[in-house]
Every structure is written in structure tokens, then in C-alpha cells.
Amino acid sequence: MLRIVIVANLLLGGSTATCNGVNMDKWECPKSWTSGGSAPHDAKDAKAFVALHNIFRCMHDVQAVQWDSDVHSGAKKWAEHTGESMTHSQGGTGYRKKGDGENLAGTFKFSKHPGVDATHMWYEEIWNPCGWKKSCYQSFSAGHMTAMIWKSINKIAYSDTTGKLAVGRYRDCLGNGPNMMGEYKKMVPPQKYNWASCANKVLNQCSAFSGVHKDDVEGCGKQSAAWSKNGMHMVYPQKCSKLYDRGGTASGGTASGGTGKPATKYSYVKGSVECKSDDHWLGKGFTVESCASAVEAAGGKFFIFGKGSGFQKGRCYVEKSSGPDCPEGYEKDEYNFYKLTSSRLRLNIETNIESNIISGDQHFSAVGVGSLAVAGVAFVAMGVVVRRKTRGSYVAPENNSDEELLESSLE
């Protein structure tokens, strides 16, 4: 049973949602980054992992989270059991307590901060594929991100025992877990503050995270050779303030209610075509305006947007063309080709990483698909897979089209 204690706030004339005496609707510096224990060997960046989660949660102004050794114990047991296999644990077993949320992400042994890398992959769903649309990110469409921001979550941990798979865990103070049907709008508020102000709050003003620096959490920041191998980069060559600030103000201000940024400018180039250059799929369900914004956030310069009423409708791709006239050549398809007329720093993601999520067990039975509570829903973190299109027509799922894998169903 969901139990939220509502405490009258006479000064503000409103109400505050609390859990165990803690205000869930306000981020405040925790007394310590951990509820007990220190960073284990299988989570070498545990403190930075918690700090980064708190930056994101500060941006949405929801209660702080702490590392928890019991949550970590379950994550580690599953990490050791599943090895490199991206397979979810079953709730209510020795591997995962009933109600605990679980995110998975592929990692690389050469990364200095696998937990931070995974956290950025999960949170980026707010813009890819959601384009900062509340109707998208306040739903299971952004299930990794919502597990991170769910305001009743207060204990987190992760384990990466192989150097190839991070198992993230989320436990809430209500005993229900994240991603409960019908609760998204209430439990996942929109961004209120921007990245810069929350990073300053967490890293510079909160003693719990002393010793953690910007470079430890800003996976969107400068690259180092130690974090890159064979063209696969575990960090984004773009500042987080560019990547994540959509609707957030300086901490202490008031949310704008709009995008907080001028609309992305773009222009139509050619219709019923796509460029033969490589591309980068950003998702489906877009408008051309939200597609342009997502392309800009991803550092792209050119894009195609699906038209009509068929398979291509609402699909958004960054086109990696070398020029606005598509020197690689056009081919006929149900897309329109556009160019941005104001683009930010180019994002060069060359990874091939999968991310999966499983959440509170009640979520799935509530929508009549109880089997999902065991298997989970398979995702690929959509911002981090680069594919080459199959020319002419899209191949069937049985032919292992990368695009179809991105929309994978059940494990």
C-alpha cells in the first residue's frame, strides 16, 4: 500500500510530501554520501556515482539519495551471477528485494568511472528519445531516468564485477519501488534548476561529497585517452550544462515553465529522401521541432524526419553528412532532409552499449502483463548506438536490424 504522509505547510499555504520525516519534494544535502560502508572494489567510483545522482535529483528538486550497503549487496550478488550477460534479476529473491528498481548498462574496463558512465547513459533519456517532453519522460518511455529521479528513492548502489556490466539498484522509502503505473507525473517532476547550479550545490556546498570534483562526475566533459579506446568513448565531448539544461533555472529561482532555451532553428533542404551518410537514430514519436532540438542537443548538424503515416512517421535521425547538400548522395525514402541553422558543440558518441531496466514489481501486474515482473523490458540506451542504415528498405527483426534491436521487446 502506498503511504505518503502529507504535512500541512501553513507558511506556504500548501502541502509537503514526506517519507520517514524527510521532505521528498526538496533536495537537501545529506549528512553523508553513504548510510554505512565505503566504496567497494566492484564500484570504484561509488561516491561520484552517488554525487552525480544527487546533481540530477537536485535539478528536479527531489530528496537526496545515499549509498546503501544492503542495496549494494544485492546488486553485487546479481552482478556476480549474471556476469557479462545483460539479464535482469527477479524481484523478491536473494538477488533483488521485492520493489527494488534495477538499471543495467554495458561498461568498459578501461573507464575510470563506470558508475558515472552508466548514470549518464540512463539519465540522457530525458532528451533522447524524449526531447524534454513531459509526456515522454514522465512515463516508462524513459524508464532508466525515471528510476533515478523517482522522488521516494533514497537508497542506491551499483556493482560492476566484470568491468563490462553495471547493475544499478534503487530502493525507496515507501517500500514500493520506482516506475509505478499512474504515479509518474507525481513522482517525476520536471527540471527546476540547471546543471551548473546543482553541480555547485552538490560538489562545493555539500560536505558529504568533499573530494568529488567536477571532472569526476561530468561524463559530458573533456575526454582523456584513458577513457577512450577503439573509437568508443565513455564520456561526452560536450558540457553537461549544454546537454541537460532544458527548463531549469539557477538553483533558488523559479522554473520557467518553457524550454528555458530559444527554439532550435532549422531549415528544410530536400523532401522524400535520406542521405547515404551514416546516421544516428534518436527515437520515434517526434515532431520535426522536437527532432531538431534533440539533434542540436546531440551535436548534430543535419537530420532526417519521417513523414507520412507508415513506419517512418515521427522517426528522427542525425545524418552524419559532410555537408548540407549531402555530397554522399541522396536516395528516395519517406523522410525529409533538414539542416540546423544554429547548432551547438558536436557530440561524437561512438559506443555500442546496451541499457536495461526493471522496476517495482507491482508496476507490471498493474498493466496486466505480470510476466514482465520477472523478465523486465529490454531497452537499448538510445543515445549511444551508432548504426549504418540498411539501404532501400528496413530489414526484418529476424535479420538483426540494429534499429529493430533498439526497439527490442522482451528478454
Handedness of CA 236, 241, 247, 248 (dihedral sign): positive
* Average pLDDT rounded to a whole number, residues 156-179: 95
pLDDT given for residue 370 in this prediction: 22
pLDDT given for residue 124 in this prediction: 85
Percentage above 70 pLDDT, the chain = 68
- What are the cell numbers at 169? 539498484
Query: What band does 104 get if pLDDT is binned at 50, 70 and 90?
Result: very high
pLDDT given for residue 197 in this prediction: 87
Task: Give ∠ CA 352-355-359 in degrees, rounded to 5.
Answer: 175
* Residue 76 DSSP class: H
CB-based burial, 16-39: b 16+ in 10 Å, e otherwise: ebbbeeebbbebeebeebbbeeeb
Relative orientation angle of helices 114-123 and 46-60, to the nearest 10 degrees: 20
Around Cβ 374, how many Cβ atoms within 10 Å? 16
- Mean pLDDT in the chain? 73
pLDDT given for residue 384 in this prediction: 27
Residue with the larger pLDDT of the pair 168 and 258: 168
- What are the cell numbers at 17? 510530501
For residue 91, pLDDT beyond 60: yes
pTM over 0.85, yes/no: no
